[in-house]
Structure 1
Amino acid sequence: MSINLSHLHSAITWLLEPVILILVAAVVIAVLEAGLAIGERLFGLKQLRKAGENALLKVARHRLERADFLARIPPMLGLMATIIPLGPGLAALGQGNPSLLAQAVTTAFDATVLGLLAGIIGLVIGKCRRRWYEEVLASLEQETQPQQA
């Protein structure tokens, strides 16, 4: 069984545009998630504390999962969108067309920046939220422990 590499190359090249669109969406989602985290820190944690430990754990699990996805997936997609245009760019250089290589490298670096930006925002949000939730849980546990005289 032989694989036609030109079809494989066409399919992989086709992936570049959707991956870049997903990266742009990831940056937008990361910025929105940062705004939600700020609101959560200012107002939401007090409400979660009042709701109790079970409600806090449910909400925390969901929100931390979103932050973890933002921290992990966009950098991988950024790497993918970095590598995809480099193949045709290097082929163009071999054919004496350095301007096409320059365009490919620019696209590659832009994709890397988008992926890292969304990932950094997701990582920071996740770390902050973990700390906030741990503090709220610790205070809830301290309140439920019987007072020792």
Structure 2
Amino acid sequence: MLDHHLFSWLHLLVGWLLQPVTWALFGLLALAICDAGVAGGERLGGLRRWRRLASAEIVRRARRRLDRADLIARVGPMLGLMGTLIPLGPGLAALGDGNVQILSVAMRVAFDTTVLGLLIGMFGFALGRLRRRWYDELLDEVEAAEVRADE
């Protein structure tokens, strides 16, 4: 008896998570798009201004931006998986009751959130890899200039 009530509450709680997970996916997509704009600005000239900074400051700024790209790359697929699994429970229950319409809606939501989460993850991964390369090249240039200045 207790198990039935516990699982009913668990099912209710998990059902409430679908809308926040979906909003979080859209928010993460917006963050990824904004971060791509910042990265584009860096590539088109913003990093040239960083050359005047000390190596430690470049590392600090780079770490913050790389952490954001890593967050996008990791959290997007996690949210996509949550968005996949949450509607499948009610969808499979509806299939057991013979209601294929509810199952088809649940499957559509499940696949859409999966694709969106994977897209966000790929976007974040690509941003992170590009930025790592750009920041490494910049640090190499700055450190070489510091060595030349010390000689």
Length-normalised TM-score, structure 2: 0.93
Q: Any gaps of 5 or more consecutive residues in structure 1? A: none
Q: How many residues align?
A: 148
* 1:76 equivalenced with 2:92 (yes/no): no
- Rounded Cα–Cα distance in structure 2 between residues aligned with 1:51 and 1:64: 18
Alignment-derived partner of residue 12 in structure 2? 10
Q: Alpha-carbon deviation of 1:146?
A: 4.7
Alignment-derived partner of residue 135 in structure 1? 137
Alignment-derived partner of residue 98 in structure 1? 100
- Rounded Cα–Cα distance in structure 1 between residues aligned with 2:123 and 2:34: 10
- Rounded Cα–Cα distance in structure 1 between residues aligned with 2:118 and 2:30: 13
- Rounded Cα–Cα distance in structure 1 between residues aligned with 2:109 and 2:127: 27
Q: Deviations over 1:39-90 (max 9, x none)?
A: 0111211111111212211100100000000000011010011000001101
- Rounded Cα–Cα distance in structure 1 between residues aligned with 2:147 and 2:31: 39
Letter aligned with residue 22 of structure 1 = A
The runs of at least 4 aligned residues of structure 1 exceeding 6 Å deviation read: none
Q: Any gaps of 5 or more consecutive residues in structure 2? A: none
Q: Deviations over 1:87-123 (max 9, x none)?
A: 1101101110111110000000111111112111111
Equivalent pairs: percent with the same residue? 49
- Rounded Cα–Cα distance in structure 2 between residues aligned with 1:36 and 1:141: 24
- Rounded Cα–Cα distance in structure 2 between residues aligned with 1:54 and 1:104: 50
Q: Alpha-carbon deviation of 1:145?
A: 2.4
Length-normalised TM-score, structure 1: 0.94
Alignment-derived partner of residue 36 in structure 1? 38
- Rounded Cα–Cα distance in structure 1 between residues aligned with 2:33 and 2:122: 11
Aligned-residue RMSD, C-alpha: 1.7
- Rounded Cα–Cα distance in structure 2 between residues aligned with 1:75 and 1:140: 36
